[in-house]
Chain A
Amino acid sequence: MSLGDSASPLGKVRGLGSAREGGEHWITERVTSIALLLLGVWLVASLLFLPALDRQTIIEWLRAPTGAVPMALLIVIAFRHALDGLKVIVDDYVHEEGSRFGWNTLFLFLAVGGGALALYALGEIVFGAVA
């Protein structure tokens, strides 16, 4: 199917350009940024409003669904947004094909590994015998 000039600008970037991809990454970066706006403000406000920042108080806060669920979302979405953002920087500044692939793969592994580690720690706090 040829889109020609009749396609809207949005239609062209939504995976319908010559590369048939690319628009998805741009949109994902924006959507996760809106989610992180809410979750980031939630985290900072929560830390400021907690009566103290000792381990016990934080465990109680994170064990309640109102702490556990936003924190799990924050971990997943923050690591995803970080990965998407770092890819833009690598693609902009690393010009050699091999090193670009290397950097992008390194950040992919770090983001997935770091995200899994943070989620595991949160799981232990929420469901484990942590005391």
Chain B
Amino acid sequence: MATKHPRPLSPHLTVWRWGPNMAVSILHRATGVALSIGGLAVLTWWLIAIAEGPEAYDGFSAAAKHPLGILVLIGLTWSFFQHLFSGIRHLVTDTGANFELGANKRSAVLTVIGSILATAAVWFYLLGVQK
């Protein structure tokens, strides 16, 4: 076959050309893993700290208010919104809709813009009121 541009062979990171759709698809998996491991670990630790007593809760609070802790929590908040918006987009495509190239690409970009805006709103509020 003497084609100049061979067709893509398999759905693999090193073969496919990057675009918003692919990036958001990968992000959906990455944020899913982050929420499954990190998000659920923080949720469980938080509940145990509340149940255990004031000292345990102080320990959790100190870690959560440490700059590194805040960074992790901001990352988990963004993962939550990214996975949520991208998840809604997946539910729509599951019905067979939104496969037009332009609309599909635009909705992929929108999930990222939405997740960044939502994360910024939550954290400007949280850090602003100093809960």
What B residues does A41 contact at CB under 8 A?
84
| CB-based contact B51/A125 at 8 Å | yes
Which of B29, B51, B122, B131: most chain A Cβ within 10 A? B51
Choose, from B2-10, B15-23, B41-49, B102-110, the stretch at the interface: B41-49
Interface residues of B, dominant DSSP: helix
Interface residues of A, dominant DSSP: helix
What A residues does B131 contact at CB under 8 A?
50, 52-53
Contact with B along A85-127 (1 / 0, CB 8 A): 1100100000000000000000000000010011001101100
A19 within 8 Å of B (CB atoms): no
A16 within 8 Å of B (CB atoms): no
B36 within 8 Å of A (CB atoms): yes
B87's partner among A33, A83, A128 (CB-CB below 8 A) is A33
State whether A40 and B80 are in contact (beta carbons under 8 Å apart), knowing that A86-B36, A89-B33 are contacts in the complex. Answer: yes
- Name 12 interchain pairs, CB-CB below 8 A, sorted by A: A37-B84, A52-B131, A82-B32, A83-B36, A85-B32, A85-B36, A114-B40, A118-B40, A122-B51, A125-B51, A128-B51, A130-B50
Q: Which of B86-131 contact A (CB under 8 A)?
A: 87-88, 91, 94, 122, 125-126, 131
What B residues does A117 contact at CB under 8 A?
44, 48
| CB-based contact A48/B50 at 8 Å | no
